Homo-oligomer: A and B are copies of this chain.
Amino acid sequence: MAAPLEPAQMRTYFALTEAVSLLQHAVQQQLQAEGGLSYVQFEILAKLVDAGRALSMTELADGVVYSRSGLTHQAALLQRSGLISRHSDPQDQRATLVEITTEGRDRVARVLPGHIQVVRRLLFDPLSDQDVSALGDIMSRALQQMRALPPRSAAPRRRERSGPR
């Protein structure tokens, strides 16, 4: 039997999940309203802007939790909207290089101020510099842990769902 969480841990867990849930919801609303973008689509565009170069589908998928087919689908939508372009990599004909278009950059530029405003209003406004620093420190440590941990199932390869659907 697993011991229950301590009361302080419970409080923290609930505050964290609920706050982030509200924040995510607000951000998604803003991105959709001001740019017609889902959060995932924004993430893809932001990643391309941040990289400053074309990225392969595999590189794009890194850090995103999606399946390859899910990424292909989103990339197809973004391409149809003219926000990215895709070409096969001359170096490796199997790979697809994804590049952000000028229109894509413009779209990011259009939604970014509102995005920042939401995050600031909802998250940072009530926090002191010390809070921000402590929060960043704590979550960075948690993140390191999450990345270091093996996936929960013992199976290293082709993990399959074990439970009832």
Contact = CB atoms under 8 A, between A and B. Distances in A.
A75 to B, nearest CB: 19
Nearest to A29: B152
A20 B143 CA distance: 9
B126 A131 contact: no
B18 A17 contact: no
Interface string A4-20: 11001101110111111
A129 to B, nearest CB: 7
B8 A140 contact: no
A16 B139 contact: yes
A54 B162 CA distance: 32
B122 A141 contact: no
A90 B19 CA distance: 36
Contacts of A18: 63, 143
A29 B11 CA distance: 23
A139 B9 CA distance: 12
23 contacts: A1-B113, A2-B116, A4-B116, A5-B119, A8-B129, A11-B136, A12-B135, A15-B143, A16-B135, A16-B139, A20-B20, A22-B147, A26-B152, A32-B165, A36-B163, A122-B145, A122-B146, A123-B142, A126-B141, A131-B141, A134-B134, A134-B138, A135-B138
Nearest to A145: B126
A35 B12 CA distance: 24
